[in-house]
């Protein structure tokens, strides 16, 4: 039996834009994606810690180094610039993988620049 565990998290990032007219998903700075190990088109859960909204969507890349975190399409109704988010990716692990698994947690500042990485080797 596989278990679903957290693989990666971008913690306390800030929405930089919300675009209702853009075709769906969430745009995330490519540098943050690379640091967290989250893939383009990967499913993520997004939790808005400012207003409590939650959604599941997929990732599209924003320019590297831009600090961009943009809610797109219908998701844009669930947050505004300045709101803080937690973005999480999950994966299926075998029972043998579970005991040694460590999720990668990327902590960022108010400009979505990496300040700390936890759970990496």
Q: State the residue for tokens 């808005």.
A: 48
CA separation, residue 2 to residues 21, 77, 99 (Å): 38, 34, 13
Q: Is 58 a residue of the active site? A: yes
Exactly one of 22, 58, 66, 90 is catalytic; which is it? 58
Alpha carbons 120 and 105: distance in angstroms, whole number:
8
CA separation, residue 27 to residues 17, 37, 58, 100 (Å): 9, 15, 9, 31
Q: Is 66 a residue of the active site? A: no
Alpha carbons 41 and 24: distance in angstroms, whole number:
11
Exactly one of 25, 27, 66, 90 is catalytic; which is it? 25
The catalytic site residues sit at 25, 58
């Amino acid at each position: 039996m596989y278990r679903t565990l957290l693989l990666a998290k971008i913690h306390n990032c800030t929405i930089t834009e919300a675009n209702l007219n853009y075709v769906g998903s969430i745009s995330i700075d490519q540098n943050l994606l690379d640091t967290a190990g989250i893939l383009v088109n990967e499913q993520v859960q997004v939790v808005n810690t400012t207003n409590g909204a939650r959604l599941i969507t997929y990732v599209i890349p924003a320019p590297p180094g831009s600090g961009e975190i943009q809610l797109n399409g219908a998701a844009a109704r669930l947050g505004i610039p300045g709101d803080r988010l937690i973005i999480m990716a999950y994966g299926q692990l075998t029972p043998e993988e579970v005991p040694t698994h460590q999720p990668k947690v990327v902590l960022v500042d108010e400009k979505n620049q990496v300040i700390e990485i936890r759970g990496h080797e």
